[in-house]
Amino acid sequence: MRRYNGRSQILVTGGAGFLGSHLCERLLGEGHEVLCVDNFFTGARRNIEHLLDHPRFDLMRHDVTVPLVVEVDEIYNLACPASPVHYQHNPVQTIKTSVHGAINVLGLAQRVNARVFQASTSEVYGDPDTHPQPESYWGRVNPVGPRSCYDEGKRCAETLFMDYHRQYGVDVRVARIFNTYGPRMHPNDGRVVSNFIVQALRGEDITIYGAGEQTRSFCYVDDLIEGFVRFMAQEGPLPGPINLGNPREFTILQLAEQVINLTNSSSRIVFKPLPQDDPKQRRPDIRLAEQHLGWEPQVQLHEGLMRTIAWFDEMLSAAH
């Protein structure tokens, strides 16, 4: 990897999204030059507005399904809608973004000899029958359901990353990200943490899908970004995949109750039908990340929710 004065030129695809904007901020803070590429499908200019005048930050409106020619030392490939509502809006574009996007960033990485990170997902495990999920688990995924455009797209992207690594020696890092939350989540993307917080702050009904007994493990965004950066900095022969997420598991009902308590909300809980193929339980086995990256999440759900609620509160007040 080329580094000039300890400074790398880093491409972040999907850099105007929730995770991407936090990553751009972190990389600029470490003294790097950051090129943010985004087609603004789910990302927003306001997420990176505060970075636009930064002398080491550049923004390019571009769709990763189209090849890109730039000179960079590292690539973080985050471009892809992440919430079920958004990725099911245009499923064909979702799978093209994952698959053609992966081919394009891998081709670029190969040409310029850059290390390349793939934001994969716990969705590659589908509705798992192994719990918690280690990286060695192959998953239980419906190939033809409403979530398949995302799940299978990300699985195919993983295959491409490992094949470019084995066949061409491209220096890859594949991270399987579990549910992550924090400031700058899209208020309308339908994900559970943003939905519950927005509903609670507005005094609207809290919508639990199913009986709320399904589980998820929620990672605060700062912890996750720390995992990304450590994984990319790791010089050993570890292409991944590696799980990054918080191993504390909660039912969706428990999450709803915590959000109501922390916001002091008068909202009622209401129960709605469970979407098709909704995974029943999800918790990462993070032993690989602990061993190889010395990484584990630091922010407890209570603390992370307080920070996220404060951000949504300010955002919703400013919108009025």
14 binds, among ligand NAD, ligand UDP, none (CB under 5 to 8 A by kind): ligand NAD
What is the Rg, in whole angstroms, of the alpha carbon atoms belonging to the chain?
A: 19
Place of tokens 């716990």: 122
Cβ–Cβ under 8 Å, residues 259 and 195: no
Closest among 213, 218, 208 to 280, alpha carbons compared = 213
For helices 18-29 and 221-233, give the axis angle rounded to 10 degrees. 60
18 binds, among ligand NAD, ligand UDP, none (CB under 5 to 8 A by kind): ligand NAD
| Alpha-carbon 275 to chain mean position | 21
Report how many residues bind ligand UDP under the rule CB under 6 A. Answer: 15
Place of tokens 């308590």: 261
Q: How many helices (H) and strands (E) does the chain have?
A: 10, 13
Cβ–Cβ under 8 Å, residues 215 and 15: no
**Which of 13, 104, 214, 308 is the binder for ligand UDP (CB under 6 A)?**
214
Q: Give the residue with the Cβ less far from ligand UDP, 27 or 255.
A: 255
**Tokens standing for residue 40:** 């603004």
17 binds, among ligand NAD, ligand UDP, none (CB under 5 to 8 A by kind): ligand NAD
Residues within window 172-211 making contact with ligand UDP, judged by CB under 6 A: 179, 190-192, 195, 207-209
Please give the Cα distance from 208 to 107 (Å, whole number). 43
Please give the Cα distance from 44 to 23 (Å, whole number). 15
Residue environment code for 42-62, b if the CB has 16+ CB neighbours within 10 A, otherwise e: bbeeebbeebeeeeebbbeeb
Please give the Cα distance from 202 to 286 (Å, whole number). 36
Catalytic residues: 150
**Which of 8, 97, 217, 308 is the binder for ligand NAD (CB under 6 A)?**
97
What are the residues whose beta carbons fall under 8 Å from the beta carbon of 65, sequence distance 6 or more?
A: 93, 96, 97, 100, 101, 104
208 binds, among ligand UDP, ligand NAD, none (CB under 5 to 8 A by kind): ligand UDP
Could you give the string, one character per residue 62-91, with x where binding to ligand UDP holds by CB under 6 A and - elsewhere?
---------------------xx-------
39 binds, among ligand UDP, ligand NAD, none (CB under 5 to 8 A by kind): ligand NAD
Q: Where are the alpha helices (DSSP H) in 119-273?
A: 148-168, 192-202, 221-233, 252-263
Residues within window 24-53 making contact with ligand NAD, judged by CB under 6 A: 38-43
**Tokens standing for residue 155:** 């699985």
Residues within window 156-215 making contact with ligand NAD, judged by CB under 6 A: 177, 179-180, 186
Q: Does 252 bind ligand UDP (CB under 6 A)?
A: yes
38 binds, among ligand NAD, ligand UDP, none (CB under 5 to 8 A by kind): ligand NAD
Could you give the string, one character per residue 101-140, with x where binding to ligand NAD holds by CB under 6 A and - elsewhere?
x-----------------x-x-------------------
Residues within window 116-175 making contact with ligand UDP, judged by CB under 6 A: none
**Which of 204, 205, 277, 278 is the binder for ligand UDP (CB under 6 A)?**
278
Tell me how far, at minimum, the Cβ of 235 lies from ligand NAD, in Å. 24
Backbone angles phi, psi at 296, to 5 degrees: -150, 150
**Tokens standing for residue 306:** 């307080």
In the complex, the residues that contact ligand UDP under the rule CB under 6 A are 83-84, 179, 190-192, 195, 207-209, 214, 216, 252, 275, 278
> Which spans of this chain sit near ligand NAD (rule: CB under 6 A)?
13-14, 16-20, 38-43, 63-65, 78-82, 97, 101, 119, 121, 177, 179-180, 186
